[in-house]
Structure 1
Amino acid sequence: MESFSYLGIVLLTLISPLPTEVIMPLTGFMAAQGKLNLVYAVLAGVLGSVIGALPWYFAGKYLGEPGLRKLSHRSGGWIKVSMEDIEKSKYWFKQYGGRAVVLSRAVPGVRTFISVPVGISGMPVLLFLFYVVLGATIWDALLAGSGYVLGDRYYLVKQYLGPASNVVVAILLIAVVVLLFRRKTRRANKSKSSLSAKKLESKL
């Protein structure tokens, strides 16, 4: 980051094994030292997220799951695809649509592979980019801002904000349970209504 400045943030977001929860608080710390501009640092992180999401989006759109499996196998392990994460991302997207793209920025693993089911679904690329930019801006700004406030204790951000992804998952799971319960209740009410109508018709 010191060598390449904002380009370094983009590159780290793209190719580094370090998660955003480590990279962005460090940018906030460097901004507090006057080495970076906080706004530009967040924008660089968002740009890295967008560039990193597009290949998975187009892979989902043009290759699908079977194509990704073949690509992973033929690459000899250079391209690693977690089908478990893709399945989880598919479930998220099926339940929440575009909101899943926004919320997934707070969940490592899902934030990458959510692009695959979005591409498979045929969502317009501009709409997809809107959701990615929105989610990445919120999450990156929160992480970088926390690092800015904490200063040389920026490394504590991951310790405290890392569990936030678990909170997001918990909220989504609760929402799914509520949604399923409502659907089941509606179906039960419909079946009762249809039975009542049939009984009334038989009496008439």
Structure 2
Amino acid sequence: MGVWHDVIGQFGYFVIFAFLSLGLVGVPIPIPDEVLLTYLGYITSLGEMSFTLTFIAAVLGSICGITFSYFLGVKLGEPFIEKYGHKLFIKKRTVKRTKRLFDKYGSLLLIFSYFIPGIRHVAAYISGITRYSLKQFLLFATAGAMMWVIVFLSIGNRLGTNWNIIAHLFRKYSLSIFAIIILIVIICITIYRYRKQSMS
């Protein structure tokens, strides 16, 4: 990671913004998003970068990238993905799986899709294609970006030199983790509604 350390040291927060913007659009970058974020967290633990400014740059980059993907979906539609998706490393089966998840979980997918490599930017395309409310999209996509960034930055910051272990495990088991998170959210919503009905 020595090269990346030099690049980040030279260009600072701009390169964080740029790489995450590109990554969320689907443009392949040499380092996976989760690995980059955990590494950035590690750098903040060394005191070489501000945790707060790193968080802001990463969130803004993520929102910029995923919003651009949304507008691509609005303007170009599904035929664009079918024709050029492979150039952005978007597989047809990924699109179909994302559609199923979007139909099933709706807004929740926009929040938690960040944690699923290959799904997050496709979810934005699908949102645009289906003309999902821009206001709602920005609300949930921003919430998801903030959660995603803070999780991986914090992991890298806390683990120090062992930052890469969790990044690897998270990428390997991301779908299982997503399913667990969704289950927890559903349980919490069910309990909340039950208590609200009991009190009324």
- Does the alignment reach a TM-score above 0.5? yes
- Deviation for aligned residue 1:30: 0.9
- Corresponding residue number in structure 2 for 1:130: 139
Instruction: Write the distance in 2 (CA, Å) between the matches of 1:23 and 1:66.
Output: 32
Shift in alpha-carbon separation, 1:169–1:150, aligned structure 2, 3 A: closer
State the one-letter code of the partner of 1:107.
Answer: I
Do structure 1's residue 88 and structure 2's residue 101 form an aligned pair? no
Preserved contact between residue 112 and residue 178 of structure 2 (Cα < 8 Å) = no
State the one-letter code of the partner of 2:171.
Answer: G
Preserved contact between residue 21 and residue 66 of structure 2 (Cα < 8 Å) = no
- Deviation for aligned residue 1:171: 3.7
Aligned residues, how many? 171
- Corresponding residue number in structure 1 for 2:197: none
Preserved contact between residue 105 and residue 136 of structure 1 (Cα < 8 Å) = yes
- Deviation for aligned residue 1:12: 2.0
Preserved contact between residue 90 and residue 118 of structure 2 (Cα < 8 Å) = no
- Corresponding residue number in structure 2 for 1:31: 44
- Deviation for aligned residue 1:94: 0.7
Preserved contact between residue 39 and residue 156 of structure 2 (Cα < 8 Å) = yes
Unaligned runs of 5+ in 1: 176-204
CA RMSD of aligned residues (A): 2.3
Q: How does 1:155-174 map to 2 (within 5 A)?
A: 155-171=164-180
Unaligned runs of 5+ in 2: 1-7, 23-28, 185-200
Any idea what the Cα deviations from partners look like across 1:101-120, whole Å, max 9, x if unmatched?
Answer: 10111100001100122112
Which has more radius of gyration?
A: 1
Q: TM-score, normalised by structure 2?
A: 0.76
Do structure 1's residue 6 and structure 2's residue 13 form an aligned pair? yes
